[in-house]
Structure 1
């Protein structure tokens, strides 16, 4: 298995972990936000979505699409830093969600190492 395949497999597992974590925290939604909200050009759709909505409807969907297309994954995401800011007053959320997001950032960071070799 190549490094790219290992990274893809790890990312697929991490996306499942993220979904399970969002469900555990009751942050998973059964209905998608409107198309206008999803079309925001602001980072993390901060002007139209809650961060958990961005994770579910933008981030997970985009990374799943990239994995299905065998496209290169982003090499940086910054989602942990954003989550730390969003959930800084919610210890119960951050204590469960941040480890998963750190693992995702770490997995995406592997792409930086691959690009150097």
Structure 2
């Protein structure tokens, strides 16, 4: 699957909603101000996707700015989701496709 980043952002949003992880109330400004990678100390990975990654990439697309090419979200996604009871396979696959679309490199999938 080779998709445009914009399409993949929508697909990530759809998957978060399908898992009932889409939140209507954003985290506090303090939580969003974390300096840890992925706001690991203040947000779940799903919250980080919704409230940090998706808005930032969308803003870059809207501004015509270059998108990051050094990105590896898939390893963090698989690590974050492996302890959860939900089937996150479709979300993980969509995140892998986003990594591939932005980096131009294939993602090594978890077995």
**TM-score bracket for the superposition, by shorter chain length:** 0.7 to 0.9
Any idea what the Cα deviations from partners look like across 1:13-58, whole Å, max 9, x if unmatched?
1000000000000110001101010011100000010110000000
1:108 aligns to 2:89 (yes or no): no
Report the Cα distance in structure 2 between the residues aligned to 1:30 and 1:93, rounded to whole angstroms: 22
One of 93, 97, 108 as aligned partner of 2:87: 93
TM-score by length of 2: 0.87
**After TM superposition, what 4+ stretches of structure 1 lie above 6 angstroms from structure 2?**
none
Structure 1 gaps, min length 5: 1-6, 113-117
- Three-state SS of the structure 2 residue aligned to 1:19 is helix
One of 6, 11, 18 as aligned partner of 1:12: 6
Larger of the two Rg values belongs to structure: 1
TM-score by length of 1: 0.82
Report the Cα distance in structure 2 between the residues aligned to 1:93 and 1:40, rounded to whole angstroms: 28
Report the Cα distance in structure 2 between the residues aligned to 1:93 and 1:53, rounded to whole angstroms: 17
- Number of aligned residue pairs: give it: 104
Q: Please report how far the alpha carbon of residue 77 of structure 1 lies from its aligned counterpart in structure 2 after TM superposition.
A: 1.9
**Counterpart of 1:81?**
75
Structure 2 gaps, min length 5: 106-111
CA RMSD of aligned residues (A): 1.7
Report the Cα distance in structure 2 between the residues aligned to 1:91 and 1:47, rounded to whole angstroms: 22
